[in-house]
C-alpha cells in the first residue's frame, strides 16, 4: 500500500497585534501524520498516539479526516486513506495542534494522489477543518502550518494570503503551562467592538511588525509585539501571565504575548542563547505558582510540512 509520513509544524497565531491575521510556523514541536492510500473511498483514523485528549477518531469530527475528505470531494476522487496521527504537541495549548494535523494530512494526501493541487490551493480545506474544530474558520494557524514561515491573512473573503520574510536570527521560546484553554471559549470572551483609540494603536503595531520583519529591524519588531485588543481579556485565563511576560522581557526577549488563544505564551528573541534564558525565567515563574510547564525553543520553520518517510 502506498504510504507517506509527514512532519507538520506547530504554529504561533496572532503574534500579539495580528488577531486572526498573523501566524508563523515552528520547527519544534510538530506532529507526525502517516497516510496510506486506499483504493476504496472513505477515511479511517487507524491510530492516534501522544496527547489524545478529546481528539475525535470519528472521521467527521477529526480535522485531518475532514480536510482530506473535502479535498477528495473537490477533486472528485474515489480513493480513500487510512490515517495515523502521532501528536507531539499538547491539545488546546495555543500551538495550533488541530491545524498541524490538518495541514500534514492534506500535504501528504495531495502527494499520494499525484499532486492534483498546489500546496497553497489546499488552504481552503484546512480552514474548513478549523471550523469543525473550534467553530470559526480562522486561518492564522493553518496557513503557516501549510506554507511555513510568517504568514499574513490580508483578506478572508476572498482569501488573500501573503508569506513575508522573517529575521535571520529569530528564535522563538514557547512555554506551555499545563492548563487547557478551549479556543471557542477564548473567542467568546472577546468584545465584538473596539474603540478607535485601540484600533489606532493596534494598526500602528501591525504596520511596525511587518516593517520590522521586512527591514531586519529587531528593535522595531520587538516593540511592535504589543496587543491592546485581545491580550487584556485572555491574560485573565492564564495564571501568572504578566509575570511570565515580564520575566521574558527582563531576559532580553524582543517581545512576548499569548500564542494563539493560549495558554501557551511565546517570546521572540534575537539569539538562541536569549531564547534559552527567557525560557528558564518564564518556567521559574510558573514553578513559583505550582503550575507545571514545558518549554520549546525553535527557529521559525520556513518550509512547512515535509516528508519524513515514504
Q: How far is the CB of 293 from ligand HSE (least distance, A)?
A: 19
Residue 58 appears among annotated catalytic residues: no
Nearer to ligand HSE, 224 or 274 (CB): 224
Q: How far is the CB of 21 from ligand HSE (least distance, A)?
A: 8
Q: How far is the CB of 271 from ligand HSE (least distance, A)?
A: 27
Q: Write down the catalytic residue from 130, 166, 173, 231.
A: 130
Query: Residues in the site for ligand HSE, rule: CB under 6 A?
Result: 13-14, 19-20, 94, 96, 138, 140-141, 183, 186-187, 260-261
Q: Determine contact, residues 293/176, Cβ cutoff 8 Å.
A: yes
Q: Determine contact, residues 65/45, Cβ cutoff 8 Å.
A: yes
Q: How far is the CB of 134 from ligand HSE (least distance, A)?
A: 7
Q: Write down the catalytic residue from 63, 166, 173, 183.
A: 183
Nearer to ligand HSE, 257 or 270 (CB): 257
Nearer to ligand HSE, 10 or 278 (CB): 10
Which residue, judged by CB position, is nearest to ligand HSE in the bound state? 260
Nearer to ligand HSE, 94 or 104 (CB): 94
Q: How far is the CB of 278 from ligand HSE (least distance, A)?
A: 22
Nearer to ligand HSE, 208 or 260 (CB): 260
Angstrom CA distances, 85 to 26, 97, 143, 213, 223, stand at 18, 11, 20, 34, 38
Q: How far is the CB of 242 from ligand HSE (least distance, A)?
A: 19
Q: Determine contact, residues 220/255, Cβ cutoff 8 Å.
A: no
Nearer to ligand HSE, 184 or 284 (CB): 184
Q: Determine contact, residues 297/199, Cβ cutoff 8 Å.
A: no
Residue 11 appears among annotated catalytic residues: no
| Residues labelled catalytic | 130, 183
Amino acid at each position: 500500500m502506498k504510504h507517506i509520513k509527514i512532519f507538520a509544524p506547530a504554529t504561533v497565531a496572532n503574534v500579539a497585534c495580528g488577531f486572526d491575521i498573523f501566524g508563523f510556523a515552528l520547527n519544534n514541536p510538530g506532529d507526525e501524520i502517516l497516510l496510506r492510500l486506499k483504493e476504496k473511498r472513505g477515511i479511517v483514523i487507524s491510530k492516534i498516539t501522544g496527547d489524545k485528549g478529546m481528539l475525535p477518531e470519528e472521521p467527521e469530527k477529526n480535522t485531518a479526516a475532514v480536510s482530506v475528505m473535502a479535498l477528495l470531494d473537490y477533486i472528485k476522487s474515489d480513493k480513500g486513506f487510512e490515517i495515523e496521527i502521532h501528536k507531539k504537541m499538547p491539545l488546546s495549548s495555543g500551538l495550533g495542534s488541530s491545524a498541524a494535523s490538518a495541514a500534514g494530512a492534506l500535504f501528504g494526501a495531495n502527494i499520494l494522489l499525484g499532486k492534483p493541487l498546489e500546496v497553497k490551493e489546499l488552504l481552503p480545506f484546512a480552514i474548513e477543518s478549523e471550523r469543525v474544530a473550534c467553530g470559526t474558520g480562522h486561518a492564522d494557524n493553518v496557513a503557516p502550518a501549510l506554507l511555513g514561515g510568517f504568514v499574513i491573512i490580508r483578506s478572508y473573503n476572498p482569501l488573500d494570503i501573503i508569506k513575508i520574510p522573517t529575521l535571520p536570527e529569530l528564535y522563538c521560546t514557547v512555554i506551555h503551562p499545563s492548563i487547557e484553554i478551549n479556543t471557542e471559549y477564548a473567542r467568546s470572551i472577546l468584545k465584538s467592538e473596539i474603540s478607535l483609540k485601540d484600533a489606532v494603536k493596534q494598526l500602528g503595531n501591525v504596520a511596525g511588525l511587518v516593517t520590522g520583519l521586512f527591514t531586519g529591524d529587531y528593535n522595531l519588531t520587538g516593540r511592535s509585539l504589543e496587543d491592546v485588543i485581545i491580550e487584556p481579556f485572555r491574560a485573565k485565563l492564564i495564571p501568572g501571565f504578566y509575570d511570565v511576560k515580564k520575566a521574558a522581557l527582563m531576559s532580553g526577549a524582543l517581545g512576548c504575548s499569548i500564542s494563539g488563544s493560549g495558554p501557551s505564551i511565546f517570546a521572540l528573541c534575537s539569539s538562541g542563547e536569549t531564547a534559552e534564558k527567557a525560557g528558564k525565567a518564564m518556567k521559574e515563574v510558573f514553578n513559583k505558582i505550582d503550575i507545571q510547564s514545558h518549554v520549546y525553543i525553535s527557529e521559525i520553520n520556513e518550509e512547512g510540512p515535509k516528508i519524513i518517510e515514504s
